[in-house]
């Protein structure tokens, strides 16, 4: 556990994607998500039906409320009851700019930011940094000066990896004994265009490489616990681009069909790309992929996401305190599991490039003309 000294931070911000909370929110939310991308209205209407299957309410905001409460309890338990905690979203209420405005009004001037995305990519990192830059600029125009620092990517932090191992092991145990040992573990994450993956991370290819590290690490730990080999693959869900645009493959449904054709009798789906049960989990996996498996007579169990697991919650607070210690000139421990080193604190020049609008300002990075990270 990291020393409970948050200086120089005087507040923490949980920054997430956001989601609709009632049917009338769905189309405005989807328009926010896809603004500037030229997505046809017909495609948005089709995606909206996914939300309407669940009463027009995404699970993500409720899950963020649970995570927020757990983070508050963790801070309080470490003697940090006076450290304010805020929550803002990119695409729906409560919006990021409103959360930062409230933080400034309460006296905060430098915030540590926890993003509910564990990996490097434009949509999982830099786009949040761009949103932070835009919000800081808007607040500066109001005379409200703030600074923000984003904690490092935590895909390989023990607090993310170990709950995932436990969840996959528990899911394997739910399968009927005759198919349990031969079950295939299918790690799943959100597909992205191959060009986005190629631009992810400081050296390119970071999105795919980081997921593979998590898949390999979890698989190795499962093999050690179970005392036998574990067959595992990485697949993708939620492709949304035009048919001619290359995206990361295989799609999880196509992969399940291939497994069934190869004689595999059961699959455990491990959604390592998501920290909680987003719509991509409850629709793309729990609904569509489950339906595919049923059609194939393929055993199917979905492992839990980390959600508000106490180890994950503790890890997020550890990351804040780790970054705080580094900003004070110390050299804190940076725990990881697997082959990859701890990620950077400050995103390097060109990291997770914006391929559509390369000059867009982004906070928390070393690119030229960035929003400053210190007041």
Coil, helix or strand at residue 365: strand
Work out whether strand 184-190 and strand 232-237 pair parallel, antiparallel, or are unpaired. parallel
Q: How many CB atoms lie within 10 A of CB 208?
A: 22
Domain residue ranges in the chain: 11-154+309-327, 158-302
Q: Which residues contact 109 (CB under 8 A, 6 or more apart)?
A: 10, 145, 146, 147, 375
Domain 158-302 fold:
Rossmann fold (3.40.50)
CATH code of the domain occupying 11-154+309-327: 3.40.50.1400
For the chain, percent helix, then strand, then coil, each to nearest 5?
Answer: 45, 15, 45
Spatial separation of the C-alpha atoms in residues 73 and 313, rounded to whole Å: 9
Spatial separation of the C-alpha atoms in residues 211 and 160, rounded to whole Å: 12
Using CB atoms within 10 Å of the CB of residue 240, give its burial: 0 to 12 exposed, 13 to 18 middle, 19+ buried: middle
pLDDT of the chain along its 375 residues, tens only? 667 999 999 999 999 999 999 999 999 999 999 887 778 888 899 899 999 999 999 999 999 999 999 999 999 999 999 999 999 999 999 999 999 999 999 999 999 999 999 999 999 999 999 999 999 999 999 999 999 999 999 999 999 999 999 999 999 999 999 999 999 999 999 999 999 999 999 999 999 999 999 999 999 999 999 999 999 999 999 998 788 899 999 999 999 999 999 999 999 999 999 999 999 999 999 999 999 999 999 999 999 999 999 999 999 999 999 999 999 999 999 999 999 999 999 999 999 999 999 999 999 999 865 544 444
Global pTM? 0.96
Backbone angles phi, psi at 301, to 5 degrees: -135, 135
Equal CATH topology for 11-154+309-327 and 158-302: yes
């Amino acid at each position: 556990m990291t020393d409970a000294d948050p200086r120089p931070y005087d507040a923490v911000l949980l920054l997430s994607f956001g989601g609709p909370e009632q049917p009338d929110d769905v189309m405005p939310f989807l328009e926010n998500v896809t603004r500037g991308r030229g997505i046809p209205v017909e495609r948005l209407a089709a995606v909206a039906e996914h939300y309407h299957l669940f009463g027009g309410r995404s699970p993500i905001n409720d899950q963020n409320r649970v995570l927020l409460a757990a983070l508050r309890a963790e801070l309080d338990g470490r003697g940090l009851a006076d450290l304010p905690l805020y929550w803002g979203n990119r695409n729906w209420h409560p919006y990021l700019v409103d959360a930062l405005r409230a933080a400034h009004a309460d006296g905060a001037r430098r915030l540590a930011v926890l993003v509910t995305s564990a990996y490097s990519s434009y949509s999982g990192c830099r786009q949040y940094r761009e949103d932070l830059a835009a919000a800081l600029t808007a607040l500066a125009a109001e005379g409200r000066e703030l600074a923000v620092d984003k904690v490092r990517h935590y895909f390989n932090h023990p607090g993310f990896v170990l709950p995932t191992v436990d969840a996959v092991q528990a899911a394997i145990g739910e399968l009927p004994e005759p198919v349990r040992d031969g079950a295939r573990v299918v790690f799943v994450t959100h597909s992205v265009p191959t060009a986005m993956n190629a631009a992810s991370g400081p050296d390119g290819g970071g999105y795919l490489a980081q997921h593979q590290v998590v898949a390999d690490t979890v698989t190795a730990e499962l093999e050690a616990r179970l005392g036998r080999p574990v067959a595992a693959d990485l697949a993708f869900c939620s492709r949304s681009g035009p048919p001619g645009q290359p995206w990361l493959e295989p799609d999880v449904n196509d992969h399940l069909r291939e497994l069934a054709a190869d004689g595999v009798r059961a699959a455990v789906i491990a959604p390592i790309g998501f920290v909680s049960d987003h719509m991509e989990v409850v629709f793309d996996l729990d609904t569509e992929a489950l339906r595919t498996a049923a059609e194939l007579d393929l055993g199917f169990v979905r492992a839990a996401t980390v959600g508000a697991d106490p180890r994950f919650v503790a890890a997020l607070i550890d990351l804040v305190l780790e970054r705080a210690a580094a900003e004070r000139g110390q050299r804190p421990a940076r725990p990881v599991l697997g082959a990859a080193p701890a990620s950077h604190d400050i995103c390097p020049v060109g990291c997770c490039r914006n391929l559509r609008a390369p000059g867009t300002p982004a906070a928390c990075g070393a690119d030229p003309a960035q929003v400053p990270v210190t007041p």
